[in-house]
Structure 1
Amino acid sequence: MASTTNSMLQFQVFNGDFSSKLQPFLSPHTSPLTLRHRRCRFICQSTRTEKSKTRNLMDNASNLLTNFLSGGSLGSMPTAEGAVSDLFGRPLFFSLYDWFLEHGSVYKLAFGPKAFVVVSDPIVARHILRENAFSYDKGVLAEILEPIMGKGLIPADVDTWKQRRRVIAPGFHALYLEAMVRVFTDCTERTMLKFEKLLEDAHVQGTIELDLEAEFSSLALDIIGLGVFNYDFGSITKESPVIKAVYGTLFEAEHRSTFYIPYWKFPLASWIVPRQRKFQYDLKVINDCLDRLIKNAKETRQETDVEKLQQRDYLNLKDASLLRFFVDMRGADVDDRQLRDDLMTMLIAGHETTAAVLTWSIFLLAQNPSKMKKAQAEIDAVIAKGRITFDCIKSLEYIRLIVVESLRLYPQPPLLIRRTLKSDKLPGGHMGETDGYQIPKGTDIFISVYNLHRSPYFWDKPDEFEPERFLVPKKSEGIEGWDGFDPSRSPGALYPNEIISDFAFLPFGGGPRKCVGDQFAVMESTIALAMLLQKFDVELKGSPDSVELVTGATIHTKNGLWCKLRKRADVK
């Protein structure tokens, strides 16, 4: 694609011509974040017009092929024309958003011999995720992740998921989460000490430049290691073969999530293709490590009932990990392979997502200094000079809202993938067909969390960074089938969840297959963000537009989030 298009797709700097053309549509208070998104859409539309003649042949052939092979079963649904050519060169969820604005909340994405249904509506999402959840499985996602996560919770079929969920969910009980606060603070303190040491070495300048995305990734990996399998990766200060293997596996998961032809399934591909040979080696390194940890845990097993496990003195327990809980649970005997799949799933899902949440939280705060100061004022009032406790997290309300607002703007992941196990009828949703849409068995569905979170129909100023928005109820305003945003529906919730928003906000999914570690993730992110802002002021090294955005399993930066850190002048 043209260089201007590539620049737009990756949020690079745009020249003044585009700003002048957009100016009539902007208010005096339009934020840089909104401006960047509108520039993005403007350039996309211009590029489409210029290249329409070249693309029509490929697009029409693709759509005809899709309609023929799908037997016209989705024929009543709006179709995103030009799907094939628009998919190349930029993150998929950008194109899905453009087509959402053009075609509505439920549309068909024609892609060669395959058709996908794209859902951008909370009413339809609620039907798929909660009301009719067991008529769907993970489909394409399971196929991609099975070689990595096996039958872990994310890719597992419905029957396996039901069995493992009964074992895993009790592990995230209140006393365990309270004990994890110590793990979160200890690991984050290591990171802060590392930053302080770097500042001491650069005492003349008083400022250091760091890739905070990389630092957050190391921090999240250490937390997952200790919290899930009682293993200290020590990645904040060193690199080991296991750490290299973990990152190698993450890169491969990302590669498989974005590569259209599953060549890794071809016979002998794991031996012929160099990256697949490396992937097999990385898996072996991690599996050997997990096997040792599982073996050690089983050798020291103390079998007991789940109720007694949840009443242990976790604050003084040497090994408070989830692995210990799973091994000790009476009646939950499971083979080492299944345990390995469960642990691998938590390692990958719990590591990369948290790093991404912290990265985008800082990215957004750095562009909003007044909100950063407001956050620091809350931190100073709640924490003072003591350590963060479990009760502190409840009082760090604004920090938690920053975390979830970052998840709204940059959801992790931006898409939820499902496949129908039997024919179903989707609701029409807001502004859709009154009679809904009949979909056959085997239909692949993309629930675009990105579109839901930025929908102009369900959010005021959807592209703006406003953590305060979650404190204010929002009425349904005549949208039939949606109950609006109401914090009173889930009193005492740690974060504004899918119940409060009636599925317009899905930071951790929704329904039975919602992420089991949601509270773990929110607490971990809140503590890490609070401890960083307690000691340091942060600003971006370059302009926001220089931060290039790429996506795979999560939304992350292309070249890191380079920031300037300095000790807070108002804190001794």
Structure 2
Amino acid sequence: MQTSVKDGAWTVGAAPGALPVLGHSRQLRQDPLGFLSSLYEYGDIVAIRMGPTPLNVLCRHDLAHHLLVERSKDFGRGGPFLERSRTIMGNGLATSTGPEHMRQRRMSQPAFHSQHIKSYMQVMQEEADAMAGGWRPSQEVDIVKEMHDLTTRVTLRCFFTMSTSGSESAGTVNQAADSLDRLTAGMYKQMTAPLAILGKLPTAANRKYQEAVRQFDETVDRIIADQRSTTTRDDLLGLLMSARDEETGATFSDEELHDQVITFLAAGIDTTANTLAWALGLISQYPDVQQKFQAEIDSLLAGEDVSYDSIRSLTYINAILDETLRLYPPLWMLTRRALRDTTLGPHRFPEGTQFAVSPYALQRDPRVFEEPELFDPERRKRQPDIPRSSFIPFGAGVHKCIGDAFAITESTIALATIGRRWHLRLAPESNPLKPQTEMTLGPASVRVTLVPRAA
């Protein structure tokens, strides 16, 4: 273990193993989760290198909370991960910062009000029923694919009033899902390249990635163009089109609308799909969890669909989702940049210094969580004093994910619908579950065999 420099409440250190020019790019590509989880051994603020760029990783939840929440005005979005993700996201809600982000969030927030989420629940239920009702006894199902298909359909219907049954709409669904899958597969390699220029070289991988970017952009433009012809809508796109800044009266420009649609497509499809795939894989891996999961569904729902009022009563499903998000947060890395000369504890950092927080690493910190690698939905009963600031799967502060309630609602409905009909047995090739580190954190494979539950 490298000795860290102790000075006050928080210590600073540097991770070993950086190479000239490349920095820690090799570790971040080969085993990013293991690398990030090991950093607390070297200090509370640990310097790593993204190529030649220094990045200070915060390895304590209280320090992360200090930066993300208490001192959010001193630290804006930034860093190599964010800058390179703008090649896809543009300057939408997921990538903007400062006053521009606050303006966009202020205009977008009404679309995620509880009354709108409540209105989306029927679509969520219809799509979950169609999926689970189409499965067959003894069928082996690719859960990763099924969940991506489900969340794509829900997102397009709830956000853009797009039917998923017609051939033309189905083509849009498939193209959106296909191009997004290729984007997420290639984006992490772009983000961890030691030099940004490497992503512009005319290699086969770069050409494939750029083609996926082009197709995704075209799909988004087609969705917007198709929807402009409808004059009265209460879907998310319609709400964004009619949104006005309460301070200036301005609406979203076409370019801003494009960037917001890309943001909500990526967030609405990929992150929720991965959370559901992880949750179902874990449920099928732990028989006692599956038994309690199904018992709650039978007891509280009694064959009925999930209602807006019943979501909070499904406490065990909520606990399953919490523990899934603790172990496998979709947003596994957040980056920030010092907006001015500043301090963290007694340590001084100049303007422009880059910082990172890994929810994945913080939520497995053995100093906070007993048996941190164990999937235990009843963890909070066993450890009631776990600090809330140690659980940040949706981020924290002014940049916390705007769609967290939408994602939890959709996930609850999907899990309850599947658990009511099917018992899941994890296929041997998916045991153990293995993460696949891309733009978001998903499982490499979750295949289950379906066993019908007694009516």
Displacement of 1:159: 2.7
1:366·1:372 contact (CA, 8 Å) conserved in 2? yes
* Cα RMSD for the two superposed structures: 2.6
Q: Deviations over 1:200-220 (max 9, x none)?
A: xxxxxx411121111111111
Equivalence for 1:430: none
User: Partner residue of 1:259?
Assistant: 193
Q: How far apart, in 2, do the equivalents of 1:244 and 1:193 lie?
A: 24
Residues 415, 446 of structure 1: 8 Å contact kept: yes
Superposed displacement of residue 320, structure 1: 3.4
Could you tell me which residue of structure 1 aligns to residue 132 of structure 2?
Answer: 192
What corresponds to 1:126 in structure 2?
65
In the TM superposition, 1:341-490 aligns within 5 A as: 341-427=259-345, 435=346, 437-471=347-381, 474-475=384-385, 485=387
* Residue pair 1:78, 1:107 contacting (<8 A) in 2 also: yes
Q: For the residues of structure 1 that align with 2:332 and 2:433, how far apart are their CA atoms?
A: 18
Conserved 8 A contact 1:294-1:336? no
Does the aligned pair in 2 maintain the 1:354–1:525 contact within 8 Å? yes
Offset, 1:387:
2.1
Call closer, same or farther: CA 1:535–1:295 in 2, change over 3 Å.
same
CA offset at residue 416 of structure 1?
1.1
Instruction: Describe the shift of the 1:551–1:233 C-alpha distance in structure 2 as closer, same or farther (beyond 3 A).
Output: farther
- Corresponding residue for 2:416? 530
Per-residue CA distance 1:274-327 (angstroms, 9 max, x = gap): 44444444444433343344345444446xxxxxxxxxxxxxxxx431111112
Q: Does 1:294 align with 2:224?
A: yes
1:83 & 1:265 partners in 2: Cα distance?
21
Q: Which AA in structure 2 matches 1:165?
A: R
Q: Which moved more, 1:247-256 or 1:504-513?
A: 247-256
Distance 1:241 1:297, change over 3 A: closer
Matched residues in 2 for 1:77 and 1:210: separation?
47
> What's the CA shift for 1:556?
2.1
The whole-number CA distance in structure 1 between the counterparts of 2:291 and 2:170 is 29
- The worse-fitting range, judged by mean Cα deviation, of 139-148 and 246-255 is 246-255
1:384-415, CA deviations, whole angstroms, 9 ceiling, x for partnerless residues? 22222212212211101101100101111211
Which residue does the alignment assign to 2:143?
212
The answer (yes or no) to whether the contact 2:14–2:47 under 8 Å persists in 1 is yes
Which amino acid letter does the alignment assign opposite residue 210 of structure 1? V
Q: SS in structure 2 opposite 1:227?
A: helix
Q: Secondary structure at the match of 2:399?
A: coil
Question: TM-score normalised to the size of structure 1?
Answer: 0.71
Are the aligned partners of 2:144 and 2:446 in contact in 1 as well (CA < 8 Å)? yes
Q: Contact (CA 8 Å) 2:184, 2:440: kept in 1 or not?
A: no
From the superposition, tell whether residues 88 and 473 of structure 1 become closer, same or farther in structure 2 (CA, over 3 Å): closer
What CA distance in whole angstroms lies between the structure 1 residues aligned with 2:191 and 2:323? 25
Within the candidate set 6, 14, 17, 1:82 is matched to 17
Pairing partner for 1:326 from 240, 261, 266: 240
- For 1:395 and 1:88, the matched residues in 2 are separated by 41
Contact 2:28 2:35 in 1 (8 A): no
Distance 1:257 1:265 in 2: 9
Number of aligned residue pairs: 434
Give the match's secondary structure for 1:395: coil
Compute the displacement of 1:509 (Å): 0.7
Residue 365 of structure 1 and its aligned partner are, at CA, apart by 1.6
Segments of structure 1 that go 5 or more residues without pairing to the other structure are: 1-44, 46-58, 60-75, 200-205, 303-318, 428-434, 476-483, 486-500
> What is the percentage of aligned positions where both structures have the same residue?
28
> For each residue in 1:408-431, what CA deviation from the matched residue of structure 2 results, as whole angstroms up to 9, or x when unmatched?
01111211111212122113xxxx
Taking structure 2 as the reference length, what is the TM-score of the superposition?
0.88
Counterpart amino acid of residue 240 in structure 2: F
Equivalences for 1:552-563 in 2 at 5 Å?
Answer: 552-558=438-444, 560-563=445-448
Match among 162, 175, 181 for residue 231 of structure 1? 162
**Structure 1, residues 508-555: CA drift from partner, whole Å, max 9, x if none?**
111111000010111111111111111111111116655433202222
* Partner SS state of residue 310, structure 2: helix
Contact 2:394 2:401 in 1 (8 A): yes
Distance in 2, matches of 1:557 and 1:473, equals: 27
SS at match of 1:252: helix
3-state SS, counterpart of residue 357 of structure 1: helix
Q: Cα gap change, 1:232/1:121 in structure 2, threshold over 3 Å: closer, same or farther?
A: farther
Deviates more, 1:403-412 or 1:386-395: 386-395
Name the aligned partner's letter for residue 247 of structure 1.
Answer: D
Q: Which residue of 2 aligns with 1:335?
A: 253
Instruction: Provide the secondary structure at the position in 1 that maps to 2:428.
Output: coil
Change (3 A) 1:103 1:279: closer
In structure 1, C-alpha distance between the alignment counterparts of 2:229 and 2:139, rounded to whole Å: 46
Instruction: Report the Cα offset of residue 340 of structure 1.
Output: 0.8
Aligned residue for 1:63?
none
Partner secondary structure for residue 436 of structure 2: strand
Consecutive unaligned residues of structure 2, counting only runs of 5 or more, are 3-10
1:564 aligns with 2:449: yes
